[in-house]
């Protein structure tokens, strides 16, 4: 089949949820189909990554994203029906022209649109199977951010975005032949009010050969959390952990160090880190495997967030002992006390961390079962054929309509 992929971010390097998912899917499908890629890029500097993607794509086109930022654009968006990310940030006349040009010059069998942000460009196209890879529910994420104490400004903006997205999201989903989500929890949320939406579950994959045990030697009394700190759920998780959980751990074990690995640390989190001698901010790290491998325990104290968390799968693939909240473990079929500890209360979370810090045998056992689960359930060789089967099913319908 001839497949057009439309993405909001260039899917290389494979960092971040949608980039990782799309990269692994291109890698698998590129050996079996003719893949064309059209993607936004943040700057022309990203063009240096094109040769890596050309290994899997017949043709690649890019558009520099000039999203409109700032309070003024947020204010103007109040009077629009579309949410900010669709009405201001990912709006591009050049992207529309590129899509028009491609569809006028070529006959694609499938148009695979990655994320709700890009759905505005393809929901009304005809002549090809239309797949929307939503990954997770955007409106549910905004709802969570509004309901949690994430700061007055963020809560107000999240409430506004939720009001706009709660109808926008299912409206666009309904215009595609099939939609993909990575978590059944997100599907249940959308199906509660819109049971007719054509949503299938196709979870994300992790490269368990790249993320493997023994990359570095475990260091004693080291906790690690990774992620882009500009993402509100990550920032909230670390402020919550440093304020409510870490003091309980340090009281029992003063030698513990928390490494927060990721860029875009907020001023509030930076202030908290400066006040605590047990917290280290690494900033951006080129290769997360080293910092994850150093961890005695990987922690994921997320209180908000949707979909399946790549950071957790990567730590599981590396055979790390993990303590997570139920939000952090969402969409992963783990059993608390087997592949990881799951704890939502600060005292229970702290006790689980302390137990793992003290017991090397339990850490090793949890790490073993965690990796076994990832290899079995989150391998693209198992996930991609399900997506490919969806292409085939819908293409058969299109082929019959062309006859």
CB atoms within 10 A of CB 277: 10
Prior bond of 13 cis (ω within 30°):
yes
Tokens encoding 52:
């890596």
CATH of 222-377 among 3.10.450.50, 3.40.50.2000, 1.20.5.440, 3.40.50.410: 3.40.50.2000
Can you give the residue ranges of every domain in the chain? 2-205+379-402, 222-377
- Asked if domains 2-205+379-402 and 222-377 share a fold, the reply is yes
> What pLDDT score was predicted for residue 15?
79
Ranges under pLDDT 70 in the chain: 67-79, 400-403
Residue 81, SS3 per DSSP: coil
DSSP 333: -
Q: How far apart are CA 283 and CA 62, in angstroms?
A: 28
Residue 285 pLDDT: 87
Q: Looking at residue 287, what is its pLDDT?
A: 87
**This prediction's pTM:** 0.91
Q: Please, what is the Cα angle at 125 between 119 and 131, to 5 degrees?
A: 50
Report d(CA 165, CA 156) in Å as an integer: 14
| pLDDT value for 153 | 80
Q: What pLDDT, on the 0 to 100 scale, is given for residue 201?
A: 96
Do 380 and 24 contact (CB within 8 A), yes or no? Answer: yes
Q: How far is the C-alpha of 47 from the C-alpha of 14, rounded, in Å?
A: 15
pLDDT at position 403 is 59
Using alpha carbons only, give the angle 242, 246, 250 rounded to the nearest 5 degrees. Answer: 140
Cα-Cα-Cα-Cα dihedral sign, residues 199, 201, 202, 204: positive
For domain 2-205+379-402, give its CATH number from 1.10.1270.20, 2.40.30.10, 3.40.50.2000, 2.160.10.10.
3.40.50.2000
Cα 64 from Cα 87, distance rounded (Å)? 17
What is the model's pLDDT at position 3? 98
Radius of gyration of the chain (CA): 22
Query: pLDDT tens for residues 196-211?
Result: 999 999 999 999 999 9
């Amino acid at each position: 089949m001839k497949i057009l992929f439309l993405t909001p971010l260039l899917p290389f390097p494979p960092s971040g949820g949608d980039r990782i998912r799309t990269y692994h899917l291109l890698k698998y499908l590129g050996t079996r189909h003719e893949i064309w890629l059209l993607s936004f890029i943040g700057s022309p500097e990203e063009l240096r990554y094109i040769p890596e993607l050309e290994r899997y794509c017949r043709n690649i086109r890019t558009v520099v994203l000039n999203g409109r930022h700032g309070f003024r654009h947020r204010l103007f968006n109040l009077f629009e029906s579309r949410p900010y990310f669709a009405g201001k940030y990912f709006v591009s006349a050049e992207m529309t022209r590129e899509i028009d040009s491609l569809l006028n010059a070529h006959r694609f069998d499938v148009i695979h649109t990655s994320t709700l942000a890009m759905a505005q460009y393809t929901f009304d196209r005809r002549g090809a199977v239309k797949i929307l890879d939503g990954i997770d529910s955007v409106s549910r994420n905004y709802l969570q951010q509004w309901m949690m104490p994430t700061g007055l400004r963020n809560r107000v903006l999240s409430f506004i975005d939720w009001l706009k997205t709660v109808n926008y999201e299912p409206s666009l989903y309904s215009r595609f032949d099939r939609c993909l989500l990575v978590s059944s929890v997100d599907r249940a949320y959308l199906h509660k009010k819109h049971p007719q939406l054509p949503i299938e579950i196709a979870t994300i994959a992790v490269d368990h050969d790249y993320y493997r045990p023994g990359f570095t030697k475990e260091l004693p009394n080291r906790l690690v959390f990774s992620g882009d700190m500009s993402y509100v759920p990550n920032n909230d998780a670390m402020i919550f952990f440093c304020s409510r959980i870490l003091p309980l751990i340090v009281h029992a074990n003063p030698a513990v160090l928390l490494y927060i690995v990721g860029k875009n640390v907020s001023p509030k989190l930076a202030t908290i880190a400066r006040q605590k001698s047990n917290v280290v901010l690494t900033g951006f790290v080129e290769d997360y495997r080293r910092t994850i491998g150093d961890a005695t325990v990987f922690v994921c104290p997320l209180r908000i967030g949707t979909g399946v968390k790549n950071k957790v799968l990567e730590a599981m693939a590396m055979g790390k002992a993990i303590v997570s909240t139920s939000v952090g473990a969402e969409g992963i079929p783990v059993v608390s006390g087997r592949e990881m500890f799951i704890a939502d209360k600060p005292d229970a979370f702290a006790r689980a961390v302390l137990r793992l810090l003290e017991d090397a045998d339990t850490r090793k056992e949890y790490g073993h079962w965690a990796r076994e689960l990832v290899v079995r359930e989150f391998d693209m060789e198992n996930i991609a054929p399900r997506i490919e089967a969806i292409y085939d099913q819908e293409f058969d319908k299109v082929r019959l309509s062309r006859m």
